Each structure stands twice: as C-alpha cells, then as structure tokens.
Amino acid sequence: MRISYILLGFIFLVGFQIVLSQKIQPVIPINTKIENDIYRKINHILDDKSVEGIKAFIYQNFTELKETNSKIELFSQIESPYGIHVLFHQHFDDILIYDAGIKINLNKEYKILNALNYLKVFEPKLYGSYDYNIELFVEPQRNRLAGNPEFDIQVTKVAFVIQGKLRLAYRVRTQMDNEYSAQEWLIDGETGAILHHQILAAFITQLDTTGRGLVFIPDPLTKAGVTYGGSYVDNNDADVPVINQQRDTVILKNITFSNGVFKLEGPFVKITEFESPVIQPVTSNDGNFYFGRASSGFEDVNAYYHLDSMQRYIQSLGFNNLANFQILVDTHSNFGQDNSYYTSSPSPRIAFGEGGVDDAEDADVIVHEYGHALSESGSPGSNSGTQRQGQDEGIGDYIAASYSRGIKPFNWFNIFNWDGHNTYWNGRKCNITAKYPNITGNFYNYGELWCTVLMQVWGIVGKETSDKVFFQHLYMNSANQTLRDAANLILDADTMLFGGTNSLAYLEAFCEKQILTDNRCSMASSINIFSEHLFKIYPNPATYELHLQNINHLSNTQVYLFNLLGQEVYKKSFIHFDEQIIDLQDFNNGIYILQIYSGNKMFTDKIIVNK
C-alpha cells in the first residue's frame, strides 16, 4: 500500500512511539551520504556443493570474520527456479550479532554469482552485561497486550554494534494480531536503555470449488479511461451506477464449500475477520458473490480474486515458492483507518483500511501489499536499511504497475489510481524524473525511483520478461543493500534467466537514472553506432566462436571485449587482418561490448553470448 510497515525495517531511535498513517507519509530524513554498497560480483564454482562449502568460501574470502574472530551460521536457504540463495547471520561467542550477515546467490551449477556483505567489523570483545532485569521492561508490555489469544512475547540475548563495539542487549519482540502490537525493541543488557525500536508489522482442507463474483479489473477509473472527479468519486462508498458499471464478472477459483455454504477461502487466500471494525466475511449459498460496492462483500470478493490471480500468475512463470501459502485477509480492518499493511506475525496476513476509497476496492493496493509478502518470502529477514526499505515499497509499486499496465495501459504510472490521486491523498508515481542519489524526503521516494526504472525496461522487453527478472531478483536481495546493489542483482537475474539478453536495456535505464555510474554506462551509451560497411560480426548471438570480418581492410586495429561490469575480457591488436575468430569457450553467457579502434575512429557493438 501507500505506506507500509516493513518487517525488520530499521528506524534507529531512542524511547520513541511509532504511529504511521497510510496517506500522510512521514518525512524521514535521508542522509546526503549514500549508504555503502554491499554488492560484490563473484564468479566461482564451488567444489564442495554444500552449505559447509559455501561457509568455507566465505571464511576464506571475507576478512571481516577473521578480523573479529566471529563466525557465521545458516539462517535461510531458498531455491528459486534458476538459483540457490543462502543467508548467514554473524555470531560472536555464540551470540547473534543484530543486523549482521552475508547473502550468497548461486546458480544451479553452484557457481557463486554474487555476495551481499553486511558483516560487521568490531573490536573482538563483548561489552556490558545482562545484569538488567529485563522483566522490568517486559511486564508492562505483557500487561498491555494480555488477553489476546494470539499474544506472544519473546526475549533473546543478542549483541549490538555501537561505534565499533559489541554491546550485550536483549531483543524483545511482541507478536499479536494488529500492526501496533507486533513490535521489537533492543534493550541494553546492563543499563536497560532502549537502543532501538521498530514496528514489525508490515510489510506489513478445501474442495476444488469455483464461484463467481463481481470485481474491478483493476479499478473503475482505469477501465473507464477517466480520472477521479465528476461522477467518478467515492461518494462515501455508495452504489453509484456509473461506477458499478465498471465491474466485471470473474471466476473465483478453489473457494471452499462446506455444509451447503460457499466461503472465500482458497489455497492462497482466506477472507476472514481478525481486526476491528468487526465485519464478518460474506458467504454464499449458491457460489455467486455478486455485490455492489456499497456492500462489505464487494471488497471481500475483490481482494480474493486479485490475490489469488496474482499467485497463480507467479506460479505460471515458474516461481512456485514465493508466498505459496494461504494468507489471511481482512478487508475491513486497521481500526477503520485509511491505511493497509502486511505482517507475517503471528501468521501471514493483510489488513485493508476503509478511509476515503476503501483500500480493497483498488487492485493496486491489493497487489502492492502482496508484494511485501512476496519479498519477505523470497529473501527472509532482508528488509533493513533506508534504501532497502525504499526498494521494498518499490517492489510493491512495481507489481501494482505491471499488473495494471498488463490489463490496460491508461495512467498505469499512477499507483493506487482509484484509491489515491484524489482529494484523499496524492498516491505514488512510477514515472518520476528524479535521479539517484538526489533523492530527498522519505524512503518512499526510493521506491518510486525503483519502480520507475523497472517499468521503463518493462516498456522495452514486455511484461512477462520483465516480471520474470523481477521475481527472480526477489530471492537475491539482502539486508542493508543500496539501489546500486539491487541494480547489479537485476543484471545478474537477467543473466541467470535469459543469458543477459535484456541487460543492456536495464543498464541503460540504471545509468540514465544514475543508479549506476561506472564505465559500463559510457559503453552502453556508445552501442549501436557500429558500421556494417567496415566490419561484419557474426553470429550474434554467438555460442563458442565470434567471427570478425574486416571488410575495408583497415590496418592498425585494436579489438576489445568488455563485460557489463566494465571489465576487459579480451584484447588483441592487428596490423591488418581480413577475418579473425574470437574464442568464446571460457566466456559466460551474457552481453558483452565489442570495441574496435582504427586510427582515430572507434566502432562499438553489442555481442550476446548464449551457449
């Protein structure tokens, strides 16, 4: 949604209460200094194809562990259709170091493609103690939240890096069924001081039975091709004829039929009641769920259809383990506020608010919130750091933009087209002109930039190709990464899926927005000026050999090949030649930049290696 709470999103404050609303975006100061990039390109085939083999590689190649006498322990290992993605957390003296670890992404041949390193460097010594009686802090939380059957509170001993020193601390997590009760604190183990506080909410047996219902696809404004105003206003959720006319009849797949009653409960979505206001989900005696928007049942049907459709689409692309579970959905929730959220605690669930235009009436809001679930599913525990949090909002915005644009392109760049861009709030955009790193305001602006650049490439390579690269990169993300790190992951994802055939389009978009600024950008800008009357290059795409014919017999020629990291991978000089063969046996699949110099002229072309 517009403002979401991100699992393990980091806001470093002392003694502070978080109250966020969906429409009024809080201004979170952004440092002018860009966060350190943590992406590191690696091309290494493991001999030992096991977790221990990966750990051995990390110990050998990342000096932070040796310098601090610390170790790593496996946190998660997830397999995507095209790779393996392993996350390790850093420990010292068997104590977990908070927000410290390393993510390794490999292809199916156990070749390490990259690492995202946020290991901490510190003096190898523990400071402080656990003398503070943590019950003095826990008891008030327990009293405040007691009485709810899903309430839980967890206390874990951790270490927290402050100015290069490890402080002993307690991590306290409360879990319940609403956004304000799922929280986390770090408490100094010696003094009881609050070191850190954050909201955790965020990302907030069935028969094969079908039903039918009426929904907006994706929203009434997009379908009608109009903007908000005139007859197309919320009008307090009334059944305005011109708006109800924009509904479509759809099939509701795999809903539950029991004891003569149809319920909106399927393998991926369960419409339920878990948060005020208390409005019970609608049911049907005949499998038909036909409601006007004034009925609470309309939002139930709309949310079920779009969430179920999104999961089925993702699986059709080959991604079978991204949030492939039943998610609980309350379409009249969040205490009636105009805000929505996703949380995985105590169970995966999405709460949709009701202020202004009801959030569950707009497919953009619905699939945006689902984007947080997909992101967390692909890379658990990765959503910390200002730019990473912003990227996660951009992940939801991209899914919304791609979903709507794939249905009808009208105003696709307006995210939350029906719910926002009106008198209630301004919505968000996926076509902003701002460039990185000149992002100001709050971290949601990073999300708009991330969505903008990905949707720019969407327009070139098409929805399915763009979506596949996008979903693959969800497995590869790491905590504390920057947008520059994320851009490199997108390039790696395209190489994994398509041999890098779309990487030039991504590279040009990232360079235009100044997310990437290295020599790859200067190479990309000079592509496609190659003259076929001087040289003939074939085949392209190439497999194991690339033929270069010197048609005009130019002399004193230098030939170079660069990969998309800007690294020189081939160089040869010729006094004269008619035809040369470049051996590609040891080249990885992907895009390469060919540069030929003759006298004071340079000729450039793009070469695709696809074995």
- In angstroms, the CA 450 to CA 506 distance is 12
Are the beta carbons of 179 and 117 closer than 8 angstroms?
A: no
- In angstroms, the CA 177 to CA 352 distance is 13
Task: Summarize pLDDT for 257-293 with one digit per residue, the tens.
Answer: 998 999 999 999 999 999 999 999 999 999 999 999 9
Are the beta carbons of 17 and 11 closer than 8 angstroms?
A: no
The yes-or-no verdict on residue 349 having pLDDT over 80 is yes
Q: Which residues, in sequence order, are CB contacts of 403 under 8 Å at separation 6+?
A: 218, 306, 310, 363, 364, 367
- Count of alpha carbons within 13 Å of 327, Cβ hemisphere only? 34
DSSP 102: E
The full set of domain ranges for the chain reads 526-609
Q: Is 599 left (phi over 0), alpha (psi -120 to 50) or beta?
A: left
Task: Summarize pLDDT for 447-464 with one digit per residue, the tens.
Answer: 999 999 999 999 989 999
- In angstroms, the CA 326 to CA 348 distance is 8
**Confidence at residue 19, expressed as pLDDT on a 0 to 100 scale:** 24
**Confidence at residue 275, expressed as pLDDT on a 0 to 100 scale:** 92
Percent of the chain clearing pLDDT 90 (strictly above):
67
Average confidence (pLDDT) over 215-244: 95
- E-assigned strand segments in 189-230: 194-199, 209-216
- In angstroms, the CA 321 to CA 378 distance is 8
Q: Which two tokens stand for residue 564?
A: 């998309």
Report residue 148's pLDDT band, with 50, 70 and 90 as the boundaries: low
Task: Summarize pLDDT for 545-556 with one digit per residue, the tens.
Answer: 999 988 878 888
CB atoms within 10 A of CB 529: 10
- In angstroms, the CA 154 to CA 151 distance is 10
Average confidence (pLDDT) over 507-519: 92
Q: Which two tokens stand for residue 69?
A: 């006498």
**Confidence at residue 563, expressed as pLDDT on a 0 to 100 scale:** 85
- In angstroms, the CA 55 to CA 300 distance is 47
Are the beta carbons of 51 and 86 closer than 8 angstroms?
A: yes
Question: Which sign, positive or negative, has the C-alpha torsion 507, 511, 515, 517?
Answer: positive
CATH number, domain 526-609: 2.60.40.3080
Q: Which residues, in sequence order, are CB contacts of 29 under 8 Å at separation 6+?
A: none
Phi, psi of 551 (to 5 degrees): -65, -45
Task: Summarize pLDDT for 416-446 with one digit per residue, the tens.
Answer: 999 999 999 999 999 999 999 888 768 899 9
**Confidence at residue 140, expressed as pLDDT on a 0 to 100 scale:** 85
Of 523, 533, 534, the residue nearest 591 (C-alpha): 523
**Confidence at residue 150, expressed as pLDDT on a 0 to 100 scale:** 60
Average confidence (pLDDT) over 49-66: 96
Average confidence (pLDDT) over 110-126: 96
Q: Which two tokens stand for residue 409?
A: 């392109």
Are the beta carbons of 464 and 472 closer than 8 angstroms?
A: no
Written as one string, the DSSP assignment of 527-543 is TT---TTTEEEE-SSBS
Task: Summarize pLDDT for 158-174 with one digit per residue, the tens.
Answer: 999 999 999 999 999 88
- In angstroms, the CA 240 to CA 407 distance is 23
Task: Summarize pLDDT for 374-416 with one digit per residue, the tens.
Answer: 999 999 989 988 999 999 999 999 999 999 999 999 999 999 9
Integer angstrom CA distances of residue 3 from 330, 442, 514: 17, 11, 26
The yes-or-no verdict on residue 207 having pLDDT over 70 is no
Q: Which two tokens stand for residue 336?
A: 């009636």
Better-scored residue on pLDDT, 43 or 360: 360
Of 174, 221, 219, 223, the residue nearest 200 (C-alpha): 174
Percent of the chain clearing pLDDT 70 (strictly above):
88
Average pLDDT, the chain: 87
Q: Which two tokens stand for residue 129?
A: 């103690």
Q: Which two tokens stand for residue 77?
A: 């290992």
Phi, psi of 397 (to 5 degrees): -65, -40
The yes-or-no verdict on residue 314 having pLDDT over 50 is yes
Are the beta carbons of 319 and 80 closer than 8 angstroms?
A: yes
- In angstroms, the CA 465 to CA 87 distance is 27
Of 484, 483, 503, the residue nearest 493 (C-alpha): 503
**Element of type H or E holding 400:** helix 386-407
Phi, psi of 11 (to 5 degrees): -125, 105
**Confidence at residue 151, expressed as pLDDT on a 0 to 100 scale:** 65
**Confidence at residue 147, expressed as pLDDT on a 0 to 100 scale:** 60
Of 404, 339, 398, 354, the residue nearest 374 (C-alpha): 398
**Confidence at residue 146, expressed as pLDDT on a 0 to 100 scale:** 66
Integer angstrom CA distances of residue 365 from 336, 430, 544: 16, 14, 47
The yes-or-no verdict on residue 471 having pLDDT over 90 is yes
**Confidence at residue 51, expressed as pLDDT on a 0 to 100 scale:** 96
Task: Summarize pLDDT for 361-378 with one digit per residue, the tens.
Answer: 999 999 999 999 999 999
Q: Which two tokens stand for residue 475?
A: 């497995």
Integer angstrom CA distances of residue 595 from 202, 491, 598: 48, 21, 10
Of 56, 54, 128, the residue nearest 85 (C-alpha): 54
The yes-or-no verdict on residue 527 having pLDDT over 80 is no
State the pairing for strand pair 247-258/261-263.
antiparallel
- In angstroms, the CA 462 to CA 455 distance is 9
- In angstroms, the CA 528 to CA 530 distance is 5
- In angstroms, the CA 536 to CA 427 distance is 51
Query: Which of 286-290, 297-301, 584-588 shows the lowest mean pLDDT across its residues?
Result: 584-588
Beta bridge partners of 157: 170
Task: Summarize pLDDT for 6-43 with one digit per residue, the tens.
Answer: 333 332 222 222 222 334 333 333 333 457 899 999 98
Q: Which two tokens stand for residue 382?
A: 């990765």
**Confidence at residue 440, expressed as pLDDT on a 0 to 100 scale:** 74
